[in-house]
């Protein structure tokens, strides 16, 4: 039986001050640098809004999102950054993005489209990792996610032109996947030049 996932705690209280301001400014610059033509599918916006509501926060928009349509990625990034300050006011913005990212996979997997997308993998951890490439491919433009390495205890994903916070939110997504499968391990990002490019490295116990 797999052990429950454990990650470095990000629930610790932090002093609101220069660090918070600097991180927020960096995230604002990240959004500004994101191409205006970058898009994301409605299902991921809907999943994010479900996360916000489950965290007992006010829905950040009254806009309706229609199935299988593309919407500006910058809009989702803006809502995510704004919601972090409300949901996790006592931790830094970047730590908050990791926390929100952890909810992404289990929330999407609970939706009909998520169940259909990942049903072929069943409860196989390896098969689910192999499906990640397709999941990102159909959800975000531009951008690619390539499973470059997979062993019994590790995986390396190459994220290229994935603009929505490769070093925080994307790390949280993979942490949430590991938690959902009861895997104990770690996830970290290795920047590869541009903000949108990074390798995500997962390690777990066999």
Average of per-residue pLDDT values in the chain: 86
Q: Is residue 187 within 8 Å of residue 201, measured between CB atoms?
A: yes
pLDDT of residue 15: 47
| Phi–psi pair at 198, nearest 5 degrees | -160, 155
pLDDT of residue 111: 57
pLDDT of residue 144: 94
pLDDT digits (tens, 9 = 90+) for 30-76: 999 999 999 999 888 888 888 888 887 788 888 888 777 999 999 99
pLDDT of residue 108: 77
The runs of H, that is alpha helices, within the chain are 18-33, 42-54, 73-87, 93-110, 112-118, 125-139, 169-180
Asked whether the predicted pLDDT for residue 90 surpasses 80, the reply is: yes
Checking 123-129 for CB contacts under 8 A at 24+ apart, the result is 123/181, 125/181, 125/183, 126/150, 128/177, 128/181, 129/155
Identify the band that residue 2 occupies on the pLDDT scale cut at 50, 70 and 90.
very low
Q: How far apart are CA 67 and CA 84, in angstroms?
A: 25
| Pair of tokens at residue 131 | 């499906």
pTM reported for the whole predicted model: 0.85
Residue with the larger pLDDT of the pair 193 and 161: 161
Asked whether the predicted pLDDT for residue 8 surpasses 50, the reply is: no
pLDDT digits (tens, 9 = 90+) for 10-40: 433 444 578 889 999 999 999 999 999 999 9
Give bridge partners of residue 40 from the DSSP assignment.
71, 140
Average pLDDT of the residues in 94-99: 96
Largest distance between two CA atoms of the chain: 47
Question: What residue ranges define each of the domains in the chain, with the CATH number in brackets?
Answer: 18-204 (3.90.1520.10)
């Amino acid at each position: 039986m797999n052990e429950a996932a454990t990650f470095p705690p990000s629930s610790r209280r932090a002093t609101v001050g220069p660090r918070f301001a600097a991180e927020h400014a960096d995230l604002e610059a990240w959004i500004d640098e994101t191409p205006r033509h970058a898009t994301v599918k409605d299902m991921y916006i809907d999943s994010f809004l479900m996360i916000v509501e489950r965290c007992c926060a006010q829905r950040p928009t009254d806009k309706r999102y229609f199935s299988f349509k593309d919407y500006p990625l910058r809009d989702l990034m803006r809502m995510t950054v704004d919601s972090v300050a409300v949901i996790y006011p006592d931790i830094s913005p970047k730590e908050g993005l990791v926390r929100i990212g952890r909810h992404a996979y289990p929330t999407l997997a609970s939706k009909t489209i998520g169940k259909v997308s990942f049903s072929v993998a069943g409860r196989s951890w390896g098969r689910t990792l192999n499906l990640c490439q397709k999941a990102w491919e159909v959800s975000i433009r531009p951008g690619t996610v390539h499973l470059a390495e997979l062993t019994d205890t590790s995986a390396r994903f190459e994220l290229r032109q994935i603009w929505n916070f490769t070093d925080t939110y994307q790390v949280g997504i993979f942490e949430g996947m590991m938690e959902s499968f009861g895997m104990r391990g770690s996830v970290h990002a290795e920047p590869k030049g541009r903000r949108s490019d990074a390798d995500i490295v997962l390690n777990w116990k066999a």
